[in-house]
Structure 1
Amino acid sequence: MDKTTAMEIIKNESLENYCFFCEDINKEEAVVITENDIEWIVFTNDERGTKISEKVYKEESKALMDFIERLRGGRALRQYINGKRGVD
């Protein structure tokens, strides 16, 4: 996977709550992907913008796949929570 493909998936699937190689890596409740000179880093921020579940990759494609999977998981969780609220 490359950055263009990842952005197409994000757009086509209406994924949200992310920071895609942006500067605001402390965004609350967001999935973040960033890079430095030698590696790609994917992590999730909690409701306070605190970094949790960080994973470091040597290959961009693997980092992008993890990033997309986390976004999809977040969407599924939000849909589940919203569905539960509608049951009452």
Structure 2
Amino acid sequence: MTRLEAMEIIQKEMLKRFNWFDEHPLRENEVGIRVDDYQWEVYVTDERASVVTGSITKFNNESDALDNFIKRLRTEKILF
């Protein structure tokens, strides 16, 4: 998956509660994706806007990270 494909899915499915590559400070109950030194991380935050312990999954490529990010956003949509 590419960034463009991920953004198209987000818009089409009206997914919310996400932090796209640290575009803003952490917020409560969101899914985030970020990259640091060519390692991508997908995580979730709790009601206090803290990254949930054990929620960080690391990837060696952006495509797999984006797949996981979209999967988590879809789950978040069901929950909220």
TM value normalised by structure 1? 0.83
Counterpart code for 2:24: D
Query: How far 1:25 sits from its partner (Å)?
Result: 4.4
RMSD: 1.0
Q: Quick one: distance in 1 between partners of 2:25 and 2:32?
A: 6
Q: Extract structure 1 runs of 4+ deviating beyond 4 A.
A: none
The answer to whether the 8 Å contact 1:40/1:60 transfers is yes
| 8 A Cα contact 1:25 1:32, kept in partner | no
Contiguous gaps of at least 5 residues in structure 2: none
The answer to whether 1:45 aligns with 2:45 is: yes
Please give the residue correspondences for 1:7-86 in structure 2 after superposition, counting only pairs within 5 Å: 7-52=7-52, 53-78=55-80
Other structure's SS at 1:51 match: coil
Q: How many residues align?
A: 78
Identity, in percent, stands at 38
Paired residues of 1:39 and 1:57 also in contact (CA < 8 A): yes
* Cα displacement string for residues 30-82 of structure 1 (whole angstroms, at most 9, x for unaligned residues): 1000001220000000010110201110010010000000000011122xxxx
TM-score, with normalisation over the residues of structure 2? Answer: 0.91
Task: Name the structure with the higher helix share.
Answer: 1
